[in-house]
């Protein structure tokens, strides 16, 4: 009986040591800033992507990679350009992501994956998914436009035919798809 108790106490001590080491590793990882990678390159035309070269700026941060297509396009052309690269127009998940992206954008405005669906009479993200972004969509007058763009200082709606660069995205857990 006593040896049984001694064995359980020793196992408990070993588990505590392992747990403590895991907690130390977790704390050190949390102290490290999120690492990110960026690059600017030109995508060459190919049999899959015909047409002119497209300049793209991209970086990965957290669980997403962001692709800034710098050519000016309409909203629907941005949606199609993202899809050609097996990406989707940007969906902003929360206020932190919005603030982070506003620090990354250049001096331009960029189409994102938020638009007004007249049949539903509501703003919807391109994937029809939820977002934790605290955005009062009722303040955006649909007469000013059915598509949303992101700039350094705000989100704003505009007519979908206006030309802007695009922000596409892909979650890291969706690669290499």
| Tally of CB atoms within 10 A around 115 | 21
Q: What is the pLDDT of residues 58-110, one digit of tens each?
A: 788 888 999 999 899 999 999 999 999 899 999 998 888 988 898 888 778 99
> What pLDDT shows up at residue 81?
95
Q: Which two tokens stand for residue 49?
A: 């992507």
CA pair distance 24, 12, nearest whole angstrom: 18
Q: Which of 42-46, 110-114, 116-120 has the highest mean pLDDT?
A: 110-114
DSSP designation for 174: G
Q: What are phi and psi of 145, to 5 degrees?
A: 145, 155
User: What span, in angstroms and rounded, lies between the C-alpha atoms of 164 and 77?
Assistant: 10
C-alpha–C-alpha distance, residues 162 and 155, integer Å: 15
What is the mean predicted confidence (pLDDT) over 133-138?
Answer: 67
* Whether pLDDT at 7 is above 70: no
Task: Tell me the average pLDDT of the chain.
Answer: 76
The per-residue pLDDT for 127 is 86
Q: Which residue has the higher pLDDT, 28 or 3?
A: 3
Contact 167, 90 (CB under 8 A): yes
> What would be the CATH architecture of the domain defined by 37-174?
Roll (3.10)
Helix (H) or strand (E) segment spanning residue 148: strand 147-150
Residue the block writes with tokens 């895991």: 22
**Cα-based distances in Å from 102 to 57, 105, 107, 124:** 15, 5, 10, 21
**What is the pLDDT averaged over residues 14-23?**
57
- The angle formed by the CA atoms of residues 152, 163 and 99, to the nearest 5 degrees, is 20
């Amino acid at each position: 009986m006593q040896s049984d108790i001694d064995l359980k106490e020793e196992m408990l001590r070993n588990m505590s040591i392992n747990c403590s080491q895991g907690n130390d590793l977790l704390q050190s990882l949390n102290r490290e800033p999120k690492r990110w990678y960026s690059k600017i390159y030109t995508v060459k035309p190919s049999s899959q992507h015909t047409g002119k070269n497209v300049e793209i700026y991209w970086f990965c941060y957290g669980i997403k990679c962001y692709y800034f297509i710098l050519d000016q396009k309409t909203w629907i052309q941005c949606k199609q350009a993202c899809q050609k690269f097996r990406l989707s127009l940007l969906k902003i998940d929360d206020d932190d992501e919005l603030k982070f992206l506003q620090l990354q954008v250049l001096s331009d405005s960029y189409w994102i994956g938020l638009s007004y669906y007249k049949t539903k009479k509501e703003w919807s993200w391109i994937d029809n998914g939820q977002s934790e972004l605290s955005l009062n969509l009722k303040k955006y007058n649909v007469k000013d436009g059915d598509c949303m763009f992101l700039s350094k200082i705000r989100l704003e709606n505009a007519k979908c035919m206006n030309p802007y660069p695009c922000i596409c995205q892909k979650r890291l857990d969706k690669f290499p798809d």
